[in-house]
Amino acid sequence: MFYRLLVFFFLFQSYTAISQAPGIVVQAGLTSMYSKDKTITKDGEMHYGWVVGADARLLDGDLYFIIGGQYINTSLRSSTAPEFFVKRDWKVMSGRCGIGFNILRLSESMVFRSKLIGCINFLIDAPSDGLGLEGYKNLNDSFLGAGTGLGFTIGSLDLDFEYQYGLINAYNKVPDSKFGSLTLLVGFHF
């Protein structure tokens, strides 16, 4: 029985392999960042902000490459209220690359997707004294992250939810100052 299901799955996949065409996705959304360090991100708080960017999808098929970038405008200080558009003092440019893949094709124009990406985040602007606390004054020029996400495409419209896990500390010589993020994006594929 298992082998029959496996054969059916591969036949179904080859039938649905008429995939999303390569192209550019221009996107914008909201992000919430956090750190395990309680001095950086206090309990029950997040670093709220917004994101704009573009990803290029390369190759036809249910598996494709992603190369892109995002501009992230957020707050270096955490807050309890989701203030996405006020007090933005931390600006980051994120370069991204990885693979994307279709999970489920509902029709020719409706697809559930996922992705695995690596991100390098470059500091563009931040307060010169960081958080202003001893040990939390020197932000690194860049830090790394690994991300995944779930997305839904309907025609040329994309809706994505992404999670990024911090791999390298954002503050110099401060353990657990890695930043993770949750991001909701709306994009237009052309």
pLDDT tens digits for 141-185?
Answer: 999 999 999 999 999 999 999 999 999 999 988 999 999 999 999
Token pair, residue 126, equals 């931040």
Q: Residues 107-127: what's their mean pLDDT? A: 95
Query: pLDDT over 90 for what percent of the chain?
Result: 73
What are the structure tokens assigned to 153, written together? Answer: 């495409």
Considering the chain, what is the average pLDDT of its residues? 88
Confidence band, pLDDT 50/70/90 cuts, at residue 9: very low
Average pLDDT over residues 78-100: 92
The predicted pLDDT at position 16 comes to 37
Report the predicted TM-score, pTM, of the whole model to 2 decimal places: 0.85
Give the number of other Cβ atoms within 10 Å of residue 11's Cβ: 10
Please, are residues 47 and 32 in contact by the beta-carbon 8 Å criterion?
yes
pLDDT score, position 121: 95
**Tens of pLDDT, residues 28-46:** 999 999 999 999 999 999 9
Average pLDDT of span 66-79: 95
Q: Is the pLDDT of residue 129 over 60?
A: yes
Residue 83 has pLDDT above 90, yes or no: no
What number of other Cβ atoms are within 10 A of residue 60's Cβ? 13
For residue 12, the tally of other CB atoms under 10 A from its CB is 11
CA atoms within 13 A on the CB side of 77: 12
Query: 124 pLDDT exceeds 70?
Result: yes
pLDDT at residue 1, as a whole number: 53
